[in-house]
Structure 1
């Protein structure tokens, strides 16, 4: 239970909600943006004007969209993550060598965020994009990250998991998930067998230091990630890549 007082500034919180609404809609006029708010159109308009002056929203004719300044912000933030440069190089190497989609993920505020993702030549429609949130309990990157946490930290994070049933194969039970995490720690690699997306499978290896936890992963939706490749070849490459990232984190 969180007993900390709510210290949010109302106006700031509302501006963020307005910004999120614009992001959700893509491009929209004031009337549509204001529709789901318990506020007057003039009040929502004032928030949009403030966001526009700050360069966070762009007004074109009578519609609004989120500005490309977020690309600048996101790129700068991502580059500041200590393992990003080494991790990205390892992701590219994995994807080019295996033909599979691959990516780099990090734990932030109890959520798994894809820092960098790239498609593979052998995958079909599967795509994990930079900035995408991945499920902790149902994706290989999420489970690899969970396996890196201390017991007390793991307890805290699992308290936030809602165990959404993405597919019939999804682990929707904490006890079963904990059993699987024990296997991940022994093997060094986490697996997702059609648990997140119906036709997709994935593998991931985690790494951590005192403050950051991440994972490097591969995924496929065309059945190519199977057999010896699933059991031996790719796991070995993932563990090696994770070790290189871990070494770079320690060096820094």
Structure 2
């Protein structure tokens, strides 16, 4: 295969993922809408969608295309490969039942966080923390819990690649501010998110470490500011999280 042909194949794969990402972001779209959104020619969009539709990764309803369930099997496989997910799932369920709030387990991949399991208690508020969604690490308690236990070189690489985008007025947007907070998280064992990602939402998180001390992911509990305050926010929820993380780490070591 010539170098030009190989580059064409790589470009084809790149365009395919640009189109599928756009389909997800637009929650379904027509060919012309995808062309406008991605700056790709309509004919290019059409060819890719036809192939993806034939393979079960895209479905067509009238003239609107949507992400198909073909991706679900791949996503489930990727998630189930992570031993920490299998053991974290019941802990997240227990936390949601104990707190009545939204609880999640997040891992880091390519410098972003990924929600791999989410449970909602009876009083949980709706957020965008769906399974598979990616998040910035610097603006969430789970993300900061993960960052605090990565090597300094890796933290710098992540910030260089993704920056420190401002999500709310309370988001950490400076390297020095992030460095200071990560130091505090290492000291305390827990991370707080005081409306740094979503206005009106607070959370507390803690890391999950392997037997060798490597970061595997993080657990968190999130809820509205009027409930996440005082002793509950500063003591009760952190104690629950630390206990759950400790049990999870023991299960990981001896399972």
> CA–CA distance in 2 between the matches of 1:155 and 1:43?
38
> CA–CA distance in 1 between the matches of 2:93 and 2:115?
14
Whether 1:242 aligns to 2:234 is no
Cα distance, 1:21 vs. partner?
Answer: 2.2
1:116 match: 117
> CA–CA distance in 2 between the matches of 1:87 and 1:175?
32
Whether 1:229 aligns to 2:228 is no
TM-score (norm 2): 0.88
> CA–CA distance in 1 between the matches of 2:90 and 2:123?
19
Match of 1:217 among 213, 220, 226: 220
Kept in 1, the 8 Å contact 2:136–2:143? The answer is yes
Counterparts of 1:167-246 in structure 2, within 5 Å, are 167-209=168-210, 213-246=216-249
Cα distance, 1:115 vs. partner?
Answer: 0.8
DSSP-derived class of the 1:165 partner: coil
Cα distance, 1:16 vs. partner?
Answer: 1.6
| Cα distance change of structure 1 residues 46 and 140 upon mapping to structure 2, 3 Å threshold | same
| Cα distance change of structure 1 residues 31 and 221 upon mapping to structure 2, 3 Å threshold | same
More helix by share: 2
Moved more, 36-45 or 229-238: 36-45
> CA–CA distance in 2 between the matches of 1:144 and 1:174?
16
DSSP-derived class of the 2:53 partner: helix
> CA–CA distance in 2 between the matches of 1:32 and 1:161?
27
> CA–CA distance in 2 between the matches of 1:37 and 1:224?
41
Q: Deviations over 1:19-54 (max 9, x none)?
A: 222222333332222234554433322111111222
| Cα distance change of structure 1 residues 174 and 40 upon mapping to structure 2, 3 Å threshold | closer
Q: Which runs of 5+ in 2 are unaligned?
A: 1-5
TM-score (norm 1): 0.89
DSSP-derived class of the 1:138 partner: coil
Aligned length: 247
2:146 match: 145
Cα distance, 1:244 vs. partner?
Answer: 2.3
* Root mean square deviation, CA, Å: 2.2
1:47 match: 48
> CA–CA distance in 2 between the matches of 1:206 and 1:238?
9
Q: Which runs of 5+ in 1 are unaligned?
A: 1-5
> CA–CA distance in 2 between the matches of 1:37 and 1:212?
36
Moved more, 32-41 or 51-60: 32-41
> CA–CA distance in 2 between the matches of 1:92 and 1:127?
18
1:30 match: 31
DSSP-derived class of the 1:156 partner: helix
> CA–CA distance in 1 between the matches of 2:229 and 2:24?
38
Moved more, 29-38 or 232-241: 29-38
Kept in 2, the 8 Å contact 1:118–1:128? The answer is no
